[in-house]
Amino acid sequence: MSKSVEARVNAQLGVTRNSKVLASLIAYCQQNPNQRFWQALRNWCGMPFVLVSHQGPHDILASHCVGVVYDTFYWEGIGTNVPEPDKKLDRHNSLTK
């Protein structure tokens, strides 16, 4: 990771417990400018999926993930402004449309 990225993060946001992690993510995004944010986050952290849900863990397990767990790979926004993804996980954890 570039020390200049870390220095800019610290200068703009202050030093926090997340400064090095945030600087590392920013550096990754700068090195991979064609990736969408959520795609870059997934690739940067080395995980095959970044999943989200409006349901709690017990509801997710009870529903077997059907219609309540979403893959963020194609998202381009954040929070409630993100349109509902068109890909959902089925009970076998494979992506379906």
Q: Which 8-state DSSP code applies to residue 79?
A: G
Q: What CA–CA distance (Å, rounded) separates 60 from 42?
A: 21
Averaged pLDDT in 10-residue chunks for the chain of 97 residues: 73 80 92 93 92 75 69 73 50 44
24 assigned to some structural domain: no
Rg (CA), the chain: 16
User: Which residues, 6+ apart, have CB-to-CB distance to 77 below 8 Å?
Assistant: 83
CB 20 within 8 A of CB 38: no
27 assigned to some structural domain: no
**Domain count for the chain:** 1
35 assigned to some structural domain: no
pTM over 0.85: no
Q: What residues make up the domain containing 94?
A: 46-97
| Alpha helices per DSSP H over the chain | 3-13, 19-31, 37-45, 57-63
62 assigned to some structural domain: yes
Angle between helices 37-45 and 19-31 in degrees, nearest 10: 110
Task: Please give the pLDDT value at position 64.
Answer: 66
71 assigned to some structural domain: yes
28, two tokens? 């990754």
40 assigned to some structural domain: no
